[in-house]
A and B are shown apart, each in its own frame.
Chain A
């Protein structure tokens, strides 16, 4: 192991269990850190603020000490971030992981081989030898973390925790830079705290989108009268998801195949879809909203996100057909932009009351 044991990542599709199995600590490089805007030197203004702000951090040296960085080939913007990173931070080793857009059998097999390649590189970076048992153990620990988050999210979304949404996002941010065993311990401490009488005064809302790591944003939603009772964000519930398969630590089965399938077939970002079920994202959002009996849906994405931009008209239409009010917000990974949306959120909630 080298100077630190952090491996940076920037995408919810990153195989965290593999990083952990190699003895490293996955550390999400979040964009919501204040540093000078410099990314435009290399990347066009029309790239999403998520990648630009991560590049700003890299250029400013505003990063934890990283043993390496994993980039997922999730979208054009993330590919360009990888490219720019090579120039601004050649001192930080990188892995670029190709990521299929579907979970077909051949795509899963391909991704499994990519994971095998990643495992090999992690070992050369000073990680411990990655065995089937270690990967199975790491998956189990992340499954435990996903389960703990599930319980905490349930409690928070039922209004049983004071300042719950803010605390939940803080916990998510913390867990994204911590080994799962410690993160689980922290979550269990939170779960053990005495709850409050469930508050149901806010308007129930379903929230979907991509990058919203600022706990203050959730505070803002609450302040505007919204109660987020379901969420699908890559800085939230999509980050820690349960991986199925044989994680018993035995010798049967291909654990990397299980991991690949688990990652690709989890709740998808807009960039992942099933060609035989086009438009499914919109239907999934409607189904989630219906099942939670919310009064409205808020979509929040960073600007210039092509996978969401293209799907939003379909999502808007599907929600309209079902009579579910919808508010769409675009942000730039700073609280400045969220604050600007305050009036719109308040008006939306007022309309739903």
Chain B
């Protein structure tokens, strides 16, 4: 089912691009389809991972790697997730857990998760994700390597995590029979740095008022691009976005009247088809100019100290450490992008993200940014109550409007 889905997606996108209907989003989606195909091909050495795993390092070792939540999001976007969530109900996996993780577990029960060669868990961002990786390792009788991501970037912590990543490379090598080629790694990290620099440009362009992007264009971008880091495709995608946004700004093709409100989207988007983004743009002229995870929080990786650079990057993800780090980052984004408000989809079951709802609220209020907390399950469309969301959004927009006046 998934192989067919990704193959069809790739074919459709490729045909559209070949027919002259290319867009940055299509190039991005094409790469997702290709990754999906590789994951389900049965040919590749696959690693199921945590979100902050060093995917470029794994790419350098010829391992097709992906964080498990990607599959939950894919199942949600295809509208099939309900069946898989029900599977987890049957085995007593509480519906209080994160639906990303329940969906993945359901997919594994139904035989829809490709058998990995190995698994790489990460302690950041959450306990639930790590637990699911342990379960998958148990189910597939495969080995799991755990990266303990320390809480801050002290010299000792960086050295500790860099050491773990070196051990991880040895672990991967032992299980795949592929050694890490230092020259290949340097090339891969070169691509990482190149993509990083261009992505930073993309995010900078998004700060322009009116913003050159539409509400959908950069959804899930930062978190998914991590999977492509180290590849030429990541550079191509980032370039396409940069060039398109630059063109729109240069040609004044964005009507300022269509951007009455500028919004910050906290954490992840809602993954199933829903009318919120369209409602915001069409009914309220509200543009999501920045997503929390669409930011570069790490320095270019020094090719003479690659593992230390990778370690710093994993530690720098705003979900890591105390909530003060995360709030500080959100405040920075709110000010840099000059937002009027923020939307926080409080994914039911997300302890690390949603758990801090009140603290985030307080932190953004301190810089004059109101927050709309939406009680939602970002994966399970069956729980989506559109009418209530419309009412809440309408009230939020009215409040932002009166504040502007």
Chain A positions within 8 Å of B, measured between CB atoms, are 40-44, 46-48, 73, 75-77, 79-80, 82-84, 86-87, 96, 98, 100-102, 104, 106-107, 110, 113, 270-271, 273, 275-276, 278-279, 303-304, 306-307, 309-314, 316-317, 328, 330
Tell me which of B52-60, B130-138, B279-287 binds A: B130-138
> Are A79 and B322 neighbours in the complex by a CB distance under 8 Å?
yes
- The minimal Cβ–Cβ distance linking A95 to chain B, given in whole angstroms, is 12
- Which residues from chain A contact B128 at a C-beta distance below 8 Å? 76, 306, 309-310
Give the interface size class of chain B. Answer: 35 or more
> Are A275 and B356 neighbours in the complex by a CB distance under 8 Å?
no
- CB-CB under 8 A for A306 and B146, given A40-B358, A43-B358: no
Residue of A nearest to B149 (CB): A98
- Which residues from chain B contact A79 at a C-beta distance below 8 Å? 322-323, 352
- The minimal Cβ–Cβ distance linking B378 to chain A, given in whole angstroms, is 13
Please tell me if B148 contacts chain A, counting CB pairs below 8 Å: yes
Q: How far is the CA of A174 from the CA of B91 in the complex (A)?
A: 38
9 residue pairs, one from A and one from B, having the closest CB atoms: A310-B131, A279-B138, A83-B323, A278-B137, A42-B358, A76-B351, A275-B144, A278-B138, A76-B352
> Are B101 and A310 neighbours in the complex by a CB distance under 8 Å?
yes
Please tell me if B163 contacts chain A, counting CB pairs below 8 Å: yes
- The minimal Cβ–Cβ distance linking B46 to chain A, given in whole angstroms, is 17
- Which residues from chain B contact A48 at a C-beta distance below 8 Å? 351
- Which residues from chain A contact B150 at a C-beta distance below 8 Å? 98, 110
> Are A304 and B96 neighbours in the complex by a CB distance under 8 Å?
yes
- The minimal Cβ–Cβ distance linking B36 to chain A, given in whole angstroms, is 25
> Are A312 and B322 neighbours in the complex by a CB distance under 8 Å?
no
Cβ 8 A contact of A110, one of B105, B148, B355, B356: B148
- Which residues from chain A contact B97 at a C-beta distance below 8 Å? 306, 309-310
Beyond contacts A43-B357, A46-B349, A313-B93: 18 other A-B pairs, Cβ-Cβ < 8 A, are A44-B354, A44-B357, A48-B351, A75-B127, A75-B351, A76-B355, A80-B351, A80-B352, A87-B359, A96-B322, A100-B123, A101-B130, A102-B148, A106-B167, A276-B143, A279-B135, A279-B138, A312-B93
- The minimal Cβ–Cβ distance linking B312 to chain A, given in whole angstroms, is 16
Chain B positions within 8 Å of A, measured between CB atoms, are 88, 91-94, 96-98, 101, 105, 119, 121, 123, 126-128, 130-132, 134-135, 137-138, 143-146, 148, 150-151, 156, 160, 163-164, 167, 322-324, 346, 348-352, 354-359, 362
13 A-B residue pairs with CB within 8 Å? A42-B358, A42-B362, A44-B355, A46-B350, A46-B354, A80-B323, A80-B351, A106-B164, A107-B148, A275-B137, A275-B144, A306-B351, A313-B88
- The minimal Cβ–Cβ distance linking A254 to chain B, given in whole angstroms, is 16
Q: How far is the CA of A328 from the CA of B94 in the complex (A)?
A: 11
> Are B96 and A303 neighbours in the complex by a CB distance under 8 Å?
yes
Q: How far is the CA of A41 from the CA of B160 in the complex (A)?
A: 37
> Are A101 and B148 neighbours in the complex by a CB distance under 8 Å?
yes
> Are A77 and B355 neighbours in the complex by a CB distance under 8 Å?
yes
- Which residues from chain B contact A304 at a C-beta distance below 8 Å? 96, 351
- CB-CB under 8 A for A47 and B355, given A83-B323, A303-B96, A310-B101: yes
- Which residues from chain A contact B105 at a C-beta distance below 8 Å? 310, 313
- Which residues from chain B contact A83 at a C-beta distance below 8 Å? 322-324, 356, 359
> Are B146 and A309 neighbours in the complex by a CB distance under 8 Å?
no
> Are A41 and B145 neighbours in the complex by a CB distance under 8 Å?
no
- The minimal Cβ–Cβ distance linking B92 to chain A, given in whole angstroms, is 5
- Which residues from chain B contact A110 at a C-beta distance below 8 Å? 148, 150, 160
> Are B135 and A310 neighbours in the complex by a CB distance under 8 Å?
yes
> Are A42 and B359 neighbours in the complex by a CB distance under 8 Å?
yes
Cβ 8 A contact of A44, one of B127, B137, B148, B358: B358
Residue of A nearest to B167 (CB): A106
Q: How far is the CA of A80 from the CA of B322 in the complex (A)?
A: 8
Q: How far is the CA of A98 from the CA of B123 in the complex (A)?
A: 11
> Are B362 and A273 neighbours in the complex by a CB distance under 8 Å?
no
Q: How far is the CA of A306 from the CA of B132 in the complex (A)?
A: 10
> Are A313 and B351 neighbours in the complex by a CB distance under 8 Å?
no
